[in-house]
Amino acid sequence: MRVAYLECFSGISGDMMLGALLHGGVKPELLQQTVAALNVNAELRISRVDRSGISATKVDVLVNGKLADQPQRSREHAHGHSHDDSRAHPHAHEHQAPNDVSTGDGHSHSHSHAHEHQHGRSLSEIREIIRHADIPHTARATAIRAFELLGEAEAGIHNVPLESIHFHEVGAVDAIVDIVCASVGCHSLGVDRFVCSPLNLGGGSVTCAHGEFPVPAPATLALLKGAPVYSSGVNVELVTPTGAALLRALDCSFSAFPAMNIQSIGYGAGSRDLDGSPNVLRISVGELLETGMLDHDHSHQEVTVLETTIDDLSPQVMGYVTERLLAEGAFDVFVTPAQMKKNRPGSLLTVLCDETTAPTMREILFRETSTIGIRTRRERRDCLERAMIRAATQWGEVRVKESRLNGTVTNFAPEYEDCRRIAEANSIPLKQVQQEAIGSYLAKRQSSSSLSDNTRKPLSTKSHVA
């Protein structure tokens, strides 16, 4: 299993994540292309800086040629319509120098007082900006989920409906750039799991739209439910809402440094130096040695099930809707033949998704299909432990998905998309690629001498390939 381990000993923010990704091997051209695809008149300025003796990559967002984030003593939050506050808000609303939510470092920003509070971007507007960008579907889903998580955190804090939330600070151009570029960069690593250290929150207080608040800010704390956190005592905000939302959107698990073969390392810099500690985020990417160690708490999941029956929709539209739902983060989508009233043949469309993405799924169903009602329920899903193993073939690497029960491999199968890509690129039969990938996988598993006892148990010979 290929993993990325994030060490947040000095917190995490969006720009620190970008710096770590670039230092760790993500191509600058990829992120510059992503910014251009957003069409928000922004660009990235990338530089190398020193943080307490550590050389790290610093990323700044330029909007209309001007620096977007100026580190001071304020923080970003979204607010509902009912909040008529004209005081300075962390992260510029839409004025001449919009500030980003993630300059994590004592990572603070503050802006001029003339903020047009009522003119923030709504969640729907931000979704549309991201959806119209030419970026990978998986990265798009992660970025949208990060903003939805931020919105839900703020809606809960202010006790207002989600759609009434306007992202005055978080919705600034530089925040959108940070979140979308971080999502694209993370998915370009080709990792199967993101793992994170305990989070150093910092201390002191931050100036929010409604006065002084102790660190962590309310939205940050809401996003970090269930995560291991601590404070080193430094009186600056180290984890920003953007950083917390990215960790949640990437579905990070938390542990000490795992046993892994490290292949690349990156350091992303915050905006200021801290006394006695390098203000950086470190990312390590490599192959996990003990592939079962991160899956023990993922055997049970709660999923949201959305269902609707339709008898007047073109099969072409049904196929399009299925692709849209999967692109926006659905776990699975399937269509079942159904006999409907008046003996008309129809279809039962079922969507499995996370509770946080359910509103997006419903919106797609209502907008793109002819349904006038959707049934929703929560169900428990029991899952086998899963891991991705990379198998070498003469044409390139193929990922092989393993499933385990109590540590014993019960099923394995080469990833279809990897095999299809290789087959098309080399004009060879698909089944030939699949068979060689299986042979390479079995040889790798049987010759490995560095796995834990669980992964050394006899392998099942079952595979999804005949």
Looking at the domain assignment, is residue 74 inside a domain?
Answer: yes
DSSP 359: H
Q: How confident is the model at residue 407 (pLDDT cuts 50, 70, 90)?
A: low
* Overall average pLDDT of the 188-200 stretch: 92
Specify the number of domains making up the chain: 3
Per-residue buried b or exposed e for 416-437, using 16+ beta carbons within 10 Å of the residue's own CB: eebbeebbeeeeeeeeebbbbb
Residue of higher predicted confidence among 73 and 260: 260
Looking at the domain assignment, is residue 461 inside a domain?
Answer: no
Tokens read off for 449: 């001498």
Using a 10 angstrom Cβ sphere, with 0-12 exposed, 13-18 middle and 19 or more buried, the burial of residue 47 is exposed
Same-domain check for residues 339 and 405: no
On whether the CB atoms of residues 223 and 248 are closer than 8 A, the answer is yes
Beta-sheet pairing, 408-414 with 396-405: antiparallel
Same-domain check for residues 402 and 343: no
| Proportion of the chain above pLDDT 90, given as a percent | 47
Q: Residue 288 has what pLDDT?
A: 83
Compute and round to an integer the Cα radius of gyration of the chain: 23
Looking at the domain assignment, is residue 336 inside a domain?
Answer: yes
Same-domain check for residues 275 and 320: no
Q: Residue 362 has what pLDDT?
A: 94
Same-domain check for residues 161 and 36: yes
Residue carrying the six token digits 């999967």 = 326
Same-domain check for residues 68 and 162: yes
Residue of higher predicted confidence among 336 and 172: 336
Same-domain check for residues 146 and 13: yes
Looking at the domain assignment, is residue 348 inside a domain?
Answer: yes
Please count the CA atoms within 13 angstroms of the CA of 416 that sit on its side-chain side. Answer: 2
CATH (domain of 392): 3.10.20
Q: Which domain holds residue 393?
A: 385-456
Tokens read off for 143: 């970025």
On whether the CB atoms of residues 130 and 35 are closer than 8 A, the answer is no
Alpha-helical (H) ranges within 99-165 are 123-131, 137-158
Q: Do you find a cis peptide bond into 228, omega within 30 degrees of 0?
A: no
Same-domain check for residues 348 and 407: no
Q: How confident is the model at residue 209 (pLDDT cuts 50, 70, 90)?
A: low
Same-domain check for residues 30 and 149: yes
CATH (domain of 329): 3.30.70.1380
In whole angstroms, give the CA distance from residue 198 to residue 353: 28
Domain boundary among the residues 360, 382, 404 is at 382
Same-domain check for residues 222 and 263: yes
Same-domain check for residues 24 and 101: yes
In whole angstroms, give the CA distance from residue 118 to residue 86: 9
Q: Residue 388 has what pLDDT?
A: 77
In whole angstroms, give the CA distance from residue 385 to residue 407: 8
Same-domain check for residues 85 and 23: yes
Same-domain check for residues 397 and 346: no
Domain boundary among the residues 223, 255, 288 is at 288
Compute how many other C-beta atoms are within 10 angstroms of the C-beta atom of residue 116: 12
Q: Which residues contact 56 (CB under 8 A, 6 or more apart)?
A: 19, 23, 48, 49, 50, 267, 268, 269, 278, 280
Domain boundary among the residues 382, 408, 441 is at 382
pLDDT, tens only, 278-300: 999 999 999 887 554 454 444 56
Q: Residue 91 has what pLDDT?
A: 35
Mean pLDDT, rounded, of the chain: 81
**Element (H or E) spanning 48, and its range?**
strand 42-51
The contacts found for 395-401 with CB under 8 angstroms, 24 or more apart, are 395/422, 395/425, 395/426, 395/428, 395/433, 396/422, 398/422, 398/433, 398/437, 398/440, 399/192, 400/437, 400/438, 400/441
